[in-house]
Amino acid sequence: MEGGAVTAATAAAAAGRRPVVLYPSPGMGHLVSMIELGKILGARGLPVTIVVVDPPYNTGATGPFLAGVSAANPSISFHRLPRVDRPPRVVSDHHEALTFEVIRASIPHLRELLAAASPAVLVVDFFCSVALDVARELGVPGYFFFTSGAEVLAFFMYLPVLHAETAASFRDMGEDLVRVPGIPPFPATHAILPLMERGDAAYDGFMNATTYLCRAQGIMVNTFRSLERRAVETVVAGRCTPPGRPTPPVYCIGPLIKSEEVLGKGGEECLAWLDAQPVASVVFLCFGSIGQFSAEQIREVAAGLEASRQRFLWVVRAPPSDDPAKKFDKPPEPDLGALLPEGFLARTKDRGLVVKSWAPQRDVLAHASVGGFVTHCGWNSVLEAVMAGVPMLAWPLYAEQRLNRVFLEKEMQLAVAVEGYDTDKGLVAAEEVAAKVLWLMDSDGGRVLRERTLAAMQQAHDALRKGGESEATLAGLVDEWRRA
């Protein structure tokens, strides 16, 4: 994989077809979105090279997924940059700080690739923003692909203004409302988690990345205009851009979600079990590729699910390690016997299924038996739920997920939040789990939420059909790249 992409890219250039190079950050959610973009570009006749960076922390297994993509999409090649063996030391509790530094340390390897490939365009992830310096140096047009929604983009574009308005950290501001044009006011406690402390290296990394947003030739966003119309229109109007900075063109090209799921261990079991359940009867609980709960919280969820009497499919991961040295390691398989209340599996075997570590989320959400989704509010998960028309209970854990929860509940009205995740203890009680699951699956309010989600699903599919708002936007951009 490592050298082959240069060969494929230079061969494409020799044939008069300069490749588009996509540079995602290491997180699985970012990689998946960028690959979906690559598939669409490849289907439109553009050779695509996707750059892969290995971070010094666990992001989930990418090997089988990338192999499946390569086999099914001949127009896409992958180039894995040499691993940064000794990444720079960073003072941060957040893996995002390490991501920024690994990307920075990989710049010489990226420059070598781009010089050899002579790409028509470089498309970078937000975390890879420093790569735009290399693109400018080599005369390559540089674009962002923003893998979160337009409302988070509005926040990031406005972050330098917020930074200048106060010397306080978001954490110090408590429940004070943060006001950004085009999005609902939100309590400072719900700002993006790695930005809570100004003294953290992650904060510096994000602040630096925001300066690049206005240097790009355009920003593609994984959303569709009708889902986040107010935020999109506000960003496009320049109301989120700091004074003196230009606002690049914004292209809403989503929702881009996995077009196929590579079934891992246990995937077939999930889908076969769902086949035997009534339509819209199952609540699905899944919290992202790195989401973890304490043993105490796992027991509370179990007790709540049992008390709700609802059918459920629940992905359980092992709790995080108490050893700081293992913070970013791949967690072991969970010991369900030790984690779950005694007798829980036996008592719920007729209406529930607990799976270890992973489930084929896209296919589960698209299954007719699934009627609700308890989610960490990662943007890919949100879009998969919208595309499947499945209403959500919001339970944010990390990154920008608390912001997404505010937008989902207050602006889009496609989710209702569980209570307790934002307390000092951060514990959602069993009674709250039971009450919210029961509300979602069997109440008038839950039915109204489901109807709104089905309407959003229709808008999403309309946006992607030929001539739809997102399809036409991307088609026009590809035509621009071909003419350049």
Query: 446: closest CA among 353, 383, 365, 374?
Result: 374
Superfamily of domain 267-461: Glycogen Phosphorylase B; (3.40.50.2000)
pLDDT value for 126: 97
Cα–Cα nearest to 180, from 239, 95, 259: 239
Give me the pLDDT at residue 5, please. 45
Topology alike, domains 4-256+465-483 and 267-461: yes
Taking only the tens place, the pLDDT of each residue in 104-163 is 999 999 999 999 999 999 999 999 999 999 999 999 999 999 999 999 999 999 999 999
Asked if residue 255 has pLDDT above 70, the reply is: yes
Residues 6 or more apart whose CB falls under 8 angstroms from that of 322 comprise none
pTM of the model: 0.94
Structure tokens at 205: 């990394």
Q: Can you tell me the distance from the alpha carbon of 66 to that of 61, in angstroms, rounded to the nearest whole number?
A: 10
What is the three-class DSSP state of 99? helix
pLDDT, position 14: 42
Give the lowest-confidence range in 198-212, 316-330, 358-372. 316-330
Is the per-residue pLDDT at 457 higher than 80?
Answer: yes
Write out the two tokens for 252: 């809403």
pLDDT for position 3 = 46
Token pair, residue 64, equals: 């089988």
Q: How confident is the model at residue 10 (pLDDT cuts 50, 70, 90)?
A: very low
Q: Where are the domains of the chain?
A: 4-256+465-483, 267-461
Mean pLDDT of the chain: 92
Distance CA 208, CA 205 (A): 5
Q: Which pLDDT score, from 0 to 100, does residue 261 have? A: 73
Cα separation of 305 and 347, whole Å? 11
Catalytic (active-site) positions: 30, 125
pLDDT reading at 2 higher than 50: no
Q: Is the pLDDT of residue 247 over 50?
A: yes
Does residue 76 sit in helix, strand or coil?
A: strand
CATH superfamily assigned to domain 4-256+465-483? Glycogen Phosphorylase B; (3.40.50.2000)
